[in-house]
Amino acid sequence: MSINACNILLGGEAGQGLVTVGNLLAKILVRHGYYIVVTESYQSRIRGGHNTFSIRVSADPITASQDKVDLLVALNAQTVTIDGGTLSDTGTIVTDEAFGVTCDRCLQAPYRQLASARYANTVALGLAASLLGLSQDICSEAVREAFGRKGPEVIEENLQALAGAYQWSAGKSTPCPGLPKISAPEKRLVMNGNDAIALGALSAGIKFYSFYPMTPSTSIGLVLAANAARMGMVVEQAEDEIAAINMAIGASFAGAPSMVSTSGGGFALMVEGVSLAAMTETPLVIAVGQRPAPATGLPTRTEQSDLEFVLHSGHGEFPRAIFAPGSVEDCFFLTRRAFEIAEHSQSPVFILFDQFLADSQRAVKPFDLAGLPPIEVGARPDGVKTPYRRFELTADGVSPRLFPGMGEHLVIADSDEHTEDGHITEDLSIRKAMVEKRLAKLEWIRSQATPPSFAGDESPDILLVTWGSTFGAALEAVETMRSRGRKAALLNFSQVWPLVPQQFMDKLKGAKEVVGVEGNATAQFARLIRRETGFEIARTILRYDGLPITPEWILREIK
Amino acid sequence: MSINACNILLGGEAGQGLVTVGNLLAKILVRHGYYIVVTESYQSRIRGGHNTFSIRVSADPITASQDKVDLLVALNAQTVTIDGGTLSDTGTIVTDEAFGVTCDRCLQAPYRQLASARYANTVALGLAASLLGLSQDICSEAVREAFGRKGPEVIEENLQALAGAYQWSAGKSTPCPGLPKISAPEKRLVMNGNDAIALGALSAGIKFYSFYPMTPSTSIGLVLAANAARMGMVVEQAEDEIAAINMAIGASFAGAPSMVSTSGGGFALMVEGVSLAAMTETPLVIAVGQRPAPATGLPTRTEQSDLEFVLHSGHGEFPRAIFAPGSVEDCFFLTRRAFEIAEHSQSPVFILFDQFLADSQRAVKPFDLAGLPPIEVGARPDGVKTPYRRFELTADGVSPRLFPGMGEHLVIADSDEHTEDGHITEDLSIRKAMVEKRLAKLEWIRSQATPPSFAGDESPDILLVTWGSTFGAALEAVETMRSRGRKAALLNFSQVWPLVPQQFMDKLKGAKEVVGVEGNATAQFARLIRRETGFEIARTILRYDGLPITPEWILREIK
Amino acid sequence: MVNLQDNGKYETAWCPGCGNFPMLDAMKRALVKLDLAPHQVLFVSGIGQAAKAPHYLNANLFNGLHGRSLPAATGAKIANKNLVVIDESGDGCMYGEGGNHFLAAIRRNIDITVIVHNNQIYGLTKGQASPTTDEGVVTKAQPQGVIEEPFHPLAVAVALHAGFVARSFSGLQDHLVDMIVAAVRHRGFSLVDVLQPCVSFNKVNTFAWYKKRCSELPNEYDPTDWNLALRTASEWGDRIPIGVIYKNDRPAFEDRIDALKGGPLVGAPVPQDALAQVMAAYA
Amino acid sequence: MVNLQDNGKYETAWCPGCGNFPMLDAMKRALVKLDLAPHQVLFVSGIGQAAKAPHYLNANLFNGLHGRSLPAATGAKIANKNLVVIDESGDGCMYGEGGNHFLAAIRRNIDITVIVHNNQIYGLTKGQASPTTDEGVVTKAQPQGVIEEPFHPLAVAVALHAGFVARSFSGLQDHLVDMIVAAVRHRGFSLVDVLQPCVSFNKVNTFAWYKKRCSELPNEYDPTDWNLALRTASEWGDRIPIGVIYKNDRPAFEDRIDALKGGPLVGAPVPQDALAQVMAAYA
Ligand SMILES: Cc1ncc(C[n+]2csc(CCOP(=O)(O)OP(=O)(O)O)c2C)c(N)n1
Ligand SMILES: Cc1ncc(C[n+]2csc(CCOP(=O)(O)OP(=O)(O)O)c2C)c(N)n1
Ligand code: SF4
Ligand code: SF4
Ligand SMILES: [Mg+2]
Ligand SMILES: [Mg+2]
């Protein structure tokens, strides 16, 4: 592997505080100046079972997770059994000697002596941090922040557990590649895809968000709810997903930039609403976090199998745009962009992400908020012709959008086919004009399409084509191939609809072999490329067992 | 036009009994041995507005409606104004002299003198029938049957109105092409697409049907409800479409062949259920009657714009089949076929039709019920391995299907990913196997695919490609072109998924020009063909104003 | 001063003699009484014959999906709490397809007024049973007659402590005007269930049928007495009580949400320094 | 004779101390008491922690979508009326996402038994408010505390004349067993709302909280008195009544449908002569 990185895996059962210390370790690493890629792997239960929290760390920018583990920290014996096999040749396993597991490269620590069972997770954190050579001060500071609200006693006990762990492991070290001391660490944020989507929405000026809880998108709502009061916005947990999307449409109609988020099964309940947003030309941002389906599927795992579903969701024909973030930064910027495109085209716009990215924390450069004003919403009433016609026929299909109650004009919208002033009609010539008006807006959306990014060799022997969260793994796989002397490149789509062939046909045609890499079983994006361009991506690398695609997975398949 | 046919149009407002006499006239014509194609055109209201009921008649088999009208029968003055323009050069308009409209080719009848206002529609029927030279006996018989339940008085008054009309128009006649006397008329049924779907379902052995009313599919449910008791089946009006599909899945799981029907907006609410049927491998037939969308759109008009929506409905990846009947006979036979494919593949199977076909009555040869046994349902418990595993992994993906309570075996199904015995699992290797099992079933479905029908010249200069209800108009357009010496052909898909390129690629490639003809604005089927075959149908003829495509429309566009 | 002319005059798609006409007139009169100019009011409706009503007067209108008017109305009210939001739809729309939203809207107690055209039938789709169709009524979809217990909207609303619950009858226009006015004035969720004859499809619950049964609550009736209200709301037989059946003064949704305590959301600036703080928390 | 062993022993995905465990045990005991062999029973459930329960005993099971267990159960019962159908799910599933089906199932009065694990929280998705969460309870999704009036499932069920309405508590296993047995024996729709502590996410309505409040209805309580039942169903405070709150003997759905008057639909032959008649009517 060309990349110098260390992969840390914390394992235990739900309820052991794994995520708490995982989050802390991630934060601590970033504060040391490292880059991270977190992969959260959990089950659909609250206690018990087997969960892991892996952090891949490097002093250099990284974009993907990694299969082989360098430092495995076990919160229970099971972790050693289940995950021991992933250990790299030079890796170390940290276990509690009380687990009674014996293994070659086990470092047996006396968890119970270092702190009470309640703080076993903090002990594990301390052991990992100390073995990785991380500053105890930075650790302690992070612990203090995290438990601040729980009172001085809890903080104190955690700090003691940490200290105990540091003391015990003093002098011990584990071979973990790629973690040189960074003298003046740059300030970076630690956030996952969901955080970044929430922040992106806030930055765009979201005023209303409605949701019904569903993994993996629930925490978008929780982040927004936690900040709603100070941000002057409303978050409403709806009675079901149908209500969620119809509320958001109502709010957007009345002038509040609005978003909903959900996962495939919840989105299935929203598709009539998607069609309504299109018909009433109401801007709406819809974030769909994919997970393995059909039906309830594997609620806490990842997949990229809702592309075609989202692309064709809603009865009838109308324009839309679909963004597919490949990184946490993408989540932020493309969410902003989604609000912009939705507002200007008065259409539903999607953010199609997945559990892996939703939960994957990364080190992110703080966003330059000063240069990122909220989007402009609606038209200025004084610039609009009277009598006001909400659906005035225009050349580009976009009619000036005013809000009800914000002047003497009346705003009328109808889910039936309607006249320019919004009233129900059965006049078939108006019908025809309105179909054409709505579809005309696709032209503008197309003109704004984010082109796919290209990385690697021009005219490569092998070109990987990806979309969404698979981007990071493919990028690293390409770099690795190139470091091994192979002419390789990556074409990644962070917007998957509309596609503009001129933006990428030369890349497809210029490669000796094109390989589609997708987290689904039927190569949906490859099919879409063929539909839109006629170009057949004959070879695909697919994964559909619920886990994210990694660089190793791609390299193994490519050979 | 090569076809010798007469086009009769009855026009009036809702509530005038237009459909009653339209249905009667259709029946009377068929009893005379004629072929018919009915086009019902109505508005989304109960009274008033402007509706038409057109019957195209011929002594020869016909498959399409026609724009030009030969006999226009007006139930109100408005009809003359609105529809007068569609009159053919030799056409006649029958009006009530009391309407006070003057027109060149108007036959002014004294409706009010012939019967009281209440029976104006019967007067109109009598006038039309008599002018067309139809037997008064056959007419009277049909009237007697239709009003039988309303008592002798109502029958008598209707018969008198009829007699009056016959008397008044005695000796008058209108030039209406193509209606030679047929001496020994064959016995044919008169039914529309919805009737035939209901009958097809009954013939397949449907035991449970649930629905929420929605134009244009409501009457499927009404036909089934009217016959449920004697057919030993249950029809349940559900609280919403979500309930409808989940009920049908529950019923099918427990062993009752089940169907739901709806239109685009209602189907939007069912898509989560589609995914559930797929995951639990429960057979289900879903009839989707298309109408102009997005959203509520034009509730009573026609369109073919839900192909891509239905094809990709439901989150996740799983097999399905989609039938697109092109005639009333298709509606019957493909509905039977849908039950068969659903049962054997244990998958959701669709019948994708539209308002035009739903409401279009045709003369149909009685189905040979003796040769059409109900489908076989489920597996025989004695042939099944114990312990019974509902989702046993098999080579073709199909596991034996037993029903709960029909033996000592236990049947367990789960919307979560599951083990072979149906229990929830988070084992990722089982996940992978189950994805492959489900998708494997597509192979069998593909092997059963109904090939597209081909008609016309081999290696034609122009090949029309159609699906669903557009078939009839395209067939006639092709015949007309050929009668004018042009080498033309038609390739019609009555099954639109899965597509099997070997079945039709030679036809596509063998034509000089290929033209897609679809009732939508974006040529969805042409896009699908390209996705599946790479073949680009560069030219399309599309209609999306809410009316069905007619032969004239196609010929005008083709030039 | 607003007057009747402000409410416009439109051609309708209703059947002659339909109970929707007097309801439309009553709504216009109520808007005049409330002195609400067209642009101050937002109607929200679903799909059905009833749901077309707001197209026939002058006001803002969001005519959404069948069954989904309440969530859309809720979202719009949250976006602009200064709007007077009136949700008007049919019994099928509100209690059938929209049943879950009906429950949730009551519980949420947001300040919108719901006017239900309760003709006890699905009108627009030509006469299938609705949730309020009486037991035994025969339709083409229910050839054996309805066997379900009818939905009792008022009883359910009272059981869930709805803010304002009333019944009226389209044949008693003055009463209806009063009910609409009181409902709009009530701060919180208000329901007015209006008995409305459908001359085309409901041959049982006709104008005369309702007329004979509707009986105004006595003056001394105390609509704040929940137990009494529950009994009264459940009455349906030879006597059908009309009037304000129940009301309370639970605080409205918008009075309990921090972000709604200032001006309306629409048009409010995005607080950039708060956003910076939110971001900083991820450091 | 059926015995406890017939119900199997499975590993669960529940938290230690969860109220779901005693509920599972109670269900097994009830099945024994009812002398129902595994293959005679069909469980139907939705999605949530509660909805996993039927995976942990031996019976037929259709574990469907979140919120949609009732329609699936209804369809299955119609297909095979000989099955004893028990629908088991959580408060979020049944009263939140599934609210509209809850209303319809009550009205339909089909003979299924509904057991709701009412922990007043969304457990599986980690602790957001459910429809039955008490006012003021703070969660991550409701940081200002719940402001909605809680849903009152029993009051609504009684208001709609549900066939059988009971409440129990997972901490009183004998009582719960009795309620399940009575519910299954009742012909028609039966609801047992079971208070069930969620030790992970509901820190307000704990075992102790319920324990203190749950109080059995007195022997002389008359569950056929609808007015009394309505009041009793609405009680929620220092005293929470448990027991059979209401019942009536409305005929069940399947006793009123012609096609269900004979044997079950599953396996019945298709009457070919009737079909020929149906077709002939189109001549
Ligand atoms: C999702 C969906 N399902 C079904 C329909 C069809 N539909 C339109 S109106 C209506 C019933 C209307 O009944 P009601 O709400 O009582 O209004 P009314 O016409 O009686 O005034 C139905 C079922 C629809 N438009 N959308
Ligand atoms: C359509 C849909 N929306 C949301 C979810 C996510 N979801 C799964 S369980 C659940 C809540 C469960 O709460 P409850 O029914 O009370 O059961 P509990 O876990 O508390 O026992 C939710 C929202 C889903 N699976 N499907
Ligand atoms: S169908 Fe009934 S409700 Fe609709 S307009 Fe006609 S009479 Fe009125
Ligand atoms: S989350 Fe709550 S309801 Fe679910 S298993 Fe744990 S304690 Fe029980
Ligand atoms: Mg109605
Ligand atoms: Mg719960």
Domain boundaries along the sequence of chain A: 5-185, 190-364, 378-448, 453-558
Q: Which residue of D has its CA nearest to B27?
A: D283
**What spacing in Å lies between the alpha carbon of B32 and ligand 5's midpoint?**
42
Q: What angle do CA B73, B215, D97 make, to 5 degrees?
A: 165
Q: For an interface test with A, give the residue of B284, B312, B315, B497 to mutate (most A CBs within 10 A).
A: B315
Within 6 Å (CB) of ligand 4, which residues are found? A 46-47; D 14-15, 18, 20, 49, 119, 123, 198-201
Torsion of CA B531, B535, B541, B542, to 10 degrees: 0
Q: What separation in angstroms does the CA of A6 have from each of A2, A67, A83, A471, C107? A: 12, 11, 16, 20, 52
Interatomic CA distance for residues A34 and C259, integer angstroms: 38
> Scanning the structure block, which residue is given the tokens 């599972």?
D24
Nearest to B287 by CA among B327, B259, B248: B259
Torsion of CA C155, C160, C161, C162, to 10 degrees: -80
Q: What is the ipTM of this complex?
A: 0.98
C205 lines ligand 3 (CB under 6 A): no
Q: What separation in angstroms does the CA of B175 have from each of B39, B53, B172, B179, B552? A: 21, 20, 10, 10, 21
In words, the CATH class of domain A5-185 is alpha beta
Contact indicator for A353, A307 with CB cutoff of 8 Å: no
Are residues C125 and B214, on separate chains, in Cβ contact within 8 Å? yes
Asked if D229 reaches chain B (Cβ–Cβ under 8 Å), the answer is no
Asked if C68 reaches chain D (Cβ–Cβ under 8 Å), the answer is no
Pocket test for ligand 1, best of C114, C122, C193 (most atoms within 8 A of CB): C122
**What spacing in Å lies between the alpha carbon of C130 and ligand 5's midpoint?**
7
Q: Which of D100, D107, D152 shows the shortest C-beta gap to C100?
A: D100
Are residues D97 and A240, on separate chains, in Cβ contact within 8 Å? yes
SS3 call for C74 = helix
Mean pLDDT (10-residue bins), chain B, 559 residues:
86 94 97 97 93 96 96 95 93 94 90 92 96 96 93 94 95 85 95 98 98 98 98 98 98 98 98 98 98 98 98 98 98 98 98 98 97 95 91 97 97 98 96 98 98 98 98 98 97 98 98 98 98 97 98 95
- Write out chain A residues lying below 8 Å of D47, CB-based: 296
Q: Mean pLDDT throughout D238-267?
A: 96
> Scanning the structure block, which residue is given the tokens 């939508």?
B520
Interatomic CA distance for residues A402 and B559, integer angstroms: 44
- Residue range D79-100, pLDDT digits in tens: 999 999 999 999 999 999 999 9
Pocket test for ligand 2, best of D102, D114, D124 (most atoms within 8 A of CB): D124
End-to-end CA distance of chain B: 14
Per-position DSSP letters for A258-292, written without gaps between them = EEEEEEHHHHHTTHHHHHHHHHTT--EEEEEEE-S
SS3 call for C166 = strand
Nearest to B338 by CA among B500, B494, B492, B193: B494
Instruction: Compute φ and ψ for B394, nearest 5 degrees.
Output: -130, 170
Q: Check residue A2 and give its pLDDT.
A: 60
Pocket test for ligand 1, best of B43, B44, B214, B242 (most atoms within 8 A of CB): B214
Structure tokens at B288: 């989707």
Asked if B35 reaches chain A (Cβ–Cβ under 8 Å), the answer is no
Sequence-distant (6+) residues with CB within 8 A of B427 are: B419
Q: Which of D99, D104, D159 shows the shortest C-beta gap to C234?
A: D159
Angle between helices A524-533 and B524-533 (to 10 degrees): 110
Host H or E run for residue B324: none
Interatomic CA distance for residues A518 and A553, integer angstroms: 12
Q: What separation in angstroms does the CA of B305 have from each of A279, A533, B64? A: 14, 22, 20
The residue type of A549 is I
Residue C243 CB: number of other CB atoms within 10 A? 20
Sequence-distant (6+) residues with CB within 8 A of A37 are: A55, A56, A62, A63, A64, A65, A360, A362, A472
Interatomic CA distance for residues D63 and D57, integer angstroms: 13
- Write out chain B residues lying below 8 Å of D61, CB-based: 410-414, 422
Contact indicator for A504, A451 with CB cutoff of 8 Å: yes
Mean pLDDT of chain D: 97
Q: Which residues are bridge partners to D272 per DSSP?
A: none
Within 6 Å (CB) of ligand 1, which residues are found? B 212-214, 241, 265-266, 269, 296; C 47-50, 66, 89-93, 117, 119, 121-125, 130
The residue type of A132 is L
Helical segments of B148-268, H only: 152-169, 193-204, 218-231, 241-253, 264-268
Establish whether the linkage from the previous residue to B299 is cis, with ω within 30° of 0.
Answer: no
Q: What share of chain C is helix, strand, coil (3-state, %, to 5)?
A: 40, 15, 45
Interatomic CA distance for residues D260 and C48, integer angstroms: 33
Per-position DSSP letters for D183-232, written without gaps between them = HHHSSS-EEEEEE---TTT-SSS-HHHHHHHEEEPPTT--TT-HHHHHHH
Q: Which ligand is nearest to the CA of C126?
A: 3
- Write out chain A residues lying below 8 Å of B416, CB-based: 44, 295-299
Q: Which residue of D has its CA nearest to C98?
A: D100
Sequence-distant (6+) residues with CB within 8 A of A371 are: none
C60 lines ligand 3 (CB under 6 A): no
Q: Check residue B2 and give its pLDDT.
A: 60
Nearest to B53 by CA among B31, B75, B35: B75
> Scanning the structure block, which residue is given the tokens 């990846």?
B317
Nearest to A364 by CA among A333, A328, A326: A328
Q: Check residue B1 and give its pLDDT.
A: 46
Which residue, by CA, sits nearest to atom 7 of ligand 1? Answer: B214
Host H or E run for residue B456: strand B453-456
- Write out chain B residues lying below 8 Å of D55, CB-based: 412, 414, 423-424
- Write out chain A residues lying below 8 Å of B438, CB-based: 294
Distance from the C125 Cα atom to the nearest Cα atom in chain B, whole angstroms: 7
Q: What separation in angstroms does the CA of D74 have from each of B390, C25, C160? A: 21, 43, 26
SS3 call for A226 = helix
Q: What angle do CA B356, B362, B367 make, to 5 degrees?
A: 120
Chains with ≥3 Cβ pairs under 8 A against C? A, B, D
**What spacing in Å lies between the alpha carbon of A422 and ligand 1's midpoint?**
20
- Render the burial of A222-255: b for 16+ CB within 10 Å, e for the rest: bbbbbbbbebbbbbbbbbbbbbbbbbbbbbbbbb
Which numbered atom of ligand 1 lies nearest the CA of B266?
Answer: 1
Q: Which residue of B has its CA nearest to A264?
A: B315
Handedness of CA C18, C22, C27, C31 (dihedral sign): positive
End-to-end CA distance of chain C: 57
> Of residues B383 and C233, which shows the higher confidence score?
C233
Asked if C107 reaches chain D (Cβ–Cβ under 8 Å), the answer is yes
Instruction: Compute φ and ψ for B265, nearest 5 degrees.
Output: -65, -35
Question: According to CATH, what is the number of the domain A190-364?
Answer: 3.40.50.970
> Scanning the structure block, which residue is given the tokens 């039936």?
A416
Per-position DSSP letters for B104-115, written without gaps between them = TTEEEE-HHHHS
Mean pLDDT (10-residue bins), chain A, 559 residues:
86 94 97 97 92 96 96 95 94 94 90 92 96 96 93 94 95 85 95 98 98 98 98 98 98 98 98 98 98 98 98 98 98 98 98 98 97 95 91 96 97 98 96 98 98 98 98 98 97 98 98 98 98 97 98 95
Distance from the B163 Cα atom to the nearest Cα atom in chain C, whole angstroms: 29
Which numbered atom of ligand 2 lies nearest the CA of D94?
Answer: 15
CATH architecture of C4-281: 3-Layer(aba) Sandwich (3.40)
Nearest to A212 by CA among A170, A165, A269: A269
End-to-end CA distance of chain D: 57
Contact indicator for D153, D116 with CB cutoff of 8 Å: yes
Instruction: Compute φ and ψ for A488, nearest 5 degrees.
Output: -135, 155
**What spacing in Å lies between the alpha carbon of C143 and ligand 5's midpoint?**
19
> Is CATH 3.40.50.920 correct for A453-558?
yes
Pocket test for ligand 1, best of C52, C94, C125, C196 (most atoms within 8 A of CB): C125
Q: Which residue of D has its CA nearest to A237?
A: D141
- Write out chain C residues lying below 8 Å of B218, CB-based: 125-126, 128, 141
Which residue, by CA, sits nearest to atom 1 of ligand 1? Answer: B266
Structure tokens at D181: 């047995």
The residue type of B129 is A
> Scanning the structure block, which residue is given the tokens 């302690």?
A140
Fold match, A5-185 / A453-558: no
